[in-house]
């Protein structure tokens, strides 16, 4: 009976795609986490949690005569979150855009889309989050001879309105960005980025706090053993609080491939922070990484997933080092160390006088094993532990003397369901 039902659908798709390309892909991701100190410090009165979550996606892509239409629906859930008898709607749109190639060099893309630039440090996918990050915007791209320019923008409303209204969502009211990248034959890639994200003044719907982020990214990677990622960004304009914004981010991560099995890396990440001893500050010096990735840069235990809010604006200096070991193609072990320190100054609330806390948050050890089972199925195991200091208690609560740990098992599958190629 299923075959009878599917036959007319397959015939219809075959005819409609006879002169086009159409593919249907799926994604399934399920993970279980043992959280005994993940994101927050636990104390002896708290019980560790065991949480399972799942993301399921259906991705359709249609390409014909210079047009590309992509439509991705997803369901993200915590196991047991919904009353199965409640019939709660829980599908959302991850992607839904139309792209048109104006020429061989120029294209325009309009609609809901992922915006990932360079290493994802400022504009990333945030794929660790089951929902990920999407933007409703229009983007123009120019590509020619290793040179790429992207520019675009968005203007958001909370609902269908006919006069300006309050925008209460914790998101930008409007966004404008410009990104230029040049790839050289020697493996060097250099990018420049500028963005303006404007947040509505909660006391005046006609006023917006414009935050500017400008910087550069450099990547070097070729057939040789040495590689490098480096970035520097300066943030200025107006913070979402209304204060002047003056903040910065620096990152340098070199790596060296010893042989086909061993790769070493080390580096640092600096995200500036405020001096909390300053009375009545007029400037915010805490860098906000906007839509950048956090899980893959600032430790697997996610204490600094959103650096500005997670550090109460004090920022972070991170020193890291680690090793990748490849057992065989598709099977890789990562072991890394992360040392976290206060970038600004954090006040100790337990002291009667205005004194700063110790400058170190703690040290984290991460282990991660990735194994590709076949061409579309993979599994990941991870374990991490945080050796926190009393300073971490100021921003995370809990007890720094208690052993903190986190463990994960995650199964991912990305099969292609069917595909019709242009004739």
For tokens 């509505």, the residue is 200
Residue 85, pLDDT above cutoff 50 = yes
Residue 324, pLDDT above cutoff 60 = yes
Average pLDDT over residues 157-181: 95
Structure-block tokens of residue 125: 């996918």
Q: How far apart, in Å, are the Cα atoms of 343 and each of 24, 241, 247, 281?
A: 47, 20, 11, 17
Confidence of residue 278 (pLDDT cuts 50, 70, 90): confident
> Do the beta carbons of residue 289 and residue 249 sit within 8 Å?
yes
Average pLDDT along the chain: 92
Residue 177, pLDDT above cutoff 70 = yes
Instruction: Report d(CA 177, CA 205) in Å as an integer.
Output: 23
Average pLDDT over residues 176-191: 97
CA 308 to chain centre: 15
DSSP-based three-state secondary structure for 380: strand
What pLDDT, in 10s, does the model give residues 22-70? 999 999 999 999 999 999 999 999 999 999 999 999 999 999 989 999 9
What single-letter DSSP state applies at residue 199?
Answer: E
Provide the residue ranges of all domains of the chain, joining segments of one domain with +: 32-160+167-420
pLDDT at 351: 72
Q: Does 114 or 355 have the greater pLDDT score?
A: 114
Instruction: Report d(CA 182, CA 192) in Å as an integer.
Output: 9
Residue 353, pLDDT above cutoff 70 = no
Confidence of residue 355 (pLDDT cuts 50, 70, 90): low
Domain 32-160+167-420: CATH architecture, name and number where available: Beta Barrel (2.40)
Of 338, 334, 355, the closest CA to residue 346 belongs to 355
Confidence of residue 5 (pLDDT cuts 50, 70, 90): very low
Q: What percent of the chain has pLDDT over 70?
A: 92
Strand-pairing partners, residue 331, are 328, 371
Confidence of residue 16 (pLDDT cuts 50, 70, 90): low
Q: Which of 75-89, 174-188, 241-255 has the lowest mean pLDDT?
A: 75-89
pLDDT at 13: 52
DSSP-based three-state secondary structure for 392: helix
pLDDT at 6: 47
Confidence of residue 7 (pLDDT cuts 50, 70, 90): low
Confidence of residue 1 (pLDDT cuts 50, 70, 90): very low
């Amino acid at each position: 009976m299923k075959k009878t039902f599917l036959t007319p659908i397959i015939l219809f798709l075959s005819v409609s795609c006879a002169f086009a390309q159409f593919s249907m892909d799926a994604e399934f991701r399920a993970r279980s986490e043992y959280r005994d100190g993940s994101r927050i410090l636990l104390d002896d009165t708290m019980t560790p949690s065991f949480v399972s979550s799942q993301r399921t996606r259906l991705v359709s892509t249609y390409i014909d005569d210079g047009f590309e239409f992509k439509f991705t629906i997803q369901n993200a859930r915590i196991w047991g979150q919904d009353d199965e008898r409640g019939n709660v709607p829980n599908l959302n749109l991850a992607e839904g855009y139309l792209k048109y190639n104006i020429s061989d060099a120029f294209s325009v893309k309009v609609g809901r889309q992922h915006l990932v630039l360079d290493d994802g440090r400022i504009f990333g996918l945030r794929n660790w989050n089951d929902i990920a990050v999407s933007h409703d915007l229009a983007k123009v791209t120019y590509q020619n001879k290793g040179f790429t320019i992207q520019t675009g923008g968005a203007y958001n409303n909370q609902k269908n309105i006919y006069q300006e209204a309050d925008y209460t969502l914790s998101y930008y009211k409007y966004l404008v960005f410009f990104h230029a990248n040049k790839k050289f034959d020697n493996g060097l890639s250099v990018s420049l980025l500028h963005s303006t994200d404007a947040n509505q003044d909660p006391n005046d719907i006609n006023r917006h706090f414009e935050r500017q982020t400008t910087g550069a990214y450099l990547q070097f990677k070729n057939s040789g053993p040495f590689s490098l990622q480096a970035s520097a960004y300066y943030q200025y304009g107006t913070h979402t609080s209304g204060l002047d914004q003056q903040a910065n981010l620096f990152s340098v991560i070199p790596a060296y491939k010893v042989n086909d099995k061993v790769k070493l890396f080390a580096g640092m990440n600096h995200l500036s922070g405020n001096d909390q001893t300053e009375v009545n500050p007029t400037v915010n010096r805490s860098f906000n990484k906007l839509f950048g990735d956090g899980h893959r840069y600032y430790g697997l235990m996610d204490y600094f997933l959103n650096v500005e809010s997670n550090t109460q604006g004090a920022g972070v200096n991170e020193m890291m080092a680690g090793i990748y070991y490849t057992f065989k193609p598709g099977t890789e072990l990562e072991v890394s160390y992360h040392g976290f320190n206060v970038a600004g100054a954090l006040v100790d609330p337990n002291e009667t006088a205005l004194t700063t806390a110790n400058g170190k948050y703690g040290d984290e050890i991460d282990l991660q094993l990735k194994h590709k089972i076949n061409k579309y199925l993979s599994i990941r195991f991870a374990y991490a532990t945080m050796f926190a200091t009393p300073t971490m208690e100021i921003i995370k609560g809990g007890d720094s003397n208690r052993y903190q740990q986190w463990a994960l098992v995650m199964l991912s599958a990305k099969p292609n369901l069917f595909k019709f190629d242009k004739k």
